[in-house]
C-alpha cells in the first residue's frame, strides 16, 4: 500500500467549532473550495451519520462545476469523521474513506486529515495537498471570524 496524504493543522478554536465546520452545511460551504471557488450553501447536503450521504457543488472560476458526493462511514462527534469522496458518478466509490480526527489541545484543536493514496499519481497527490491546504486556510479564517464574535 502506498503512503496516504496526511495533513495536520492546529486551529485556535474549540474542537466543537472545528467539528461544526465539517458538519454544518453553511460552514462547509464557506471553506470547501477555498475563497477562489464558490460552493453555494444551497448545494451542500450533509447527512452526518454513519451511512448518511453528503454532496456539494464547486463552481470553478472558469465556469465548470464539480459535483462532489460520498457517504459517511464513521461519525464519532466531535472526534472522528470518515467519509468516501468522489466527483465521478460513473466510477465506483473509493474503497477507503478520508478520515478527519480532531484532538483538543491547549488553546485549540489539532486536526489530522488522512486521504488514501488510491491510484493517484505523485502530481495528483501534490495538487490534492495544495487544494486541502487552501481549504484549511479558508477554514482557519472562518474559525477566526467566529472567535472574533461571529456565531458559534
pLDDT in tens, 65-118: 999 999 999 999 999 999 999 998 888 767 789 999 999 999 899 999 999 998
Tens of pLDDT, residues 26-65: 999 999 988 889 999 999 999 999 999 999 999 999 999 9
Structural domains in the chain? 5-142 (3.30.530.20)
| Residue-wise burial string across 92-112, b where 16 or more C-beta atoms lie within 10 A, e elsewhere | eeeebbbbbebeeeeebbebe
- At 150 the pLDDT is 59
Q: Could you tell me the pTM of the whole model?
A: 0.93
Residue 152 has pLDDT above 60, yes or no: no
Amino acid at each position: 500500500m502506498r503512503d496516504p496524504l496526511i495533513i495536520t493543522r492546529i486551529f485556535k478554536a474549540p474542537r466543537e467549532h472545528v467539528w461544526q465546520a465539517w458538519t454544518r452545511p453553511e460552514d462547509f460551504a464557506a471553506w470547501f473550495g477555498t475563497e477562489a471557488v464558490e460552493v453555494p450553501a444551497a448545494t451542500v447536503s450533509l447527512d452526518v451519520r454513519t451511512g448518511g450521504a453528503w454532496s456539494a457543488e464547486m463552481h470553478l472560476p472558469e465556469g465548470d462545476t464539480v459535483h462532489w458526493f460520498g457517504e459517511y462511514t464513521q461519525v464519532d462527534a466531535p472526534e472522528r469523521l470518515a467519509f468516501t469522496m468522489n466527483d465521478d458518478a460513473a466510477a465506483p466509490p473509493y474503497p477507503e474513506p478520508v478520515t478527519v480526527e480532531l484532538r483538543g489541545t491547549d488553546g485549540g484543536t489539532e486536526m489530522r486529515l488522512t486521504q488514501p493514496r488510491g491510484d493517484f499519481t505523485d502530481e495528483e497527490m501534490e495538487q490534492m495537498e495544495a487544494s486541502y491546504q487552501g481549504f484549511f486556510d479558508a477554514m482557519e479564517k472562518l474559525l477566526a471570524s467566529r472567535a472574533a464574535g461571529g456565531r458559534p
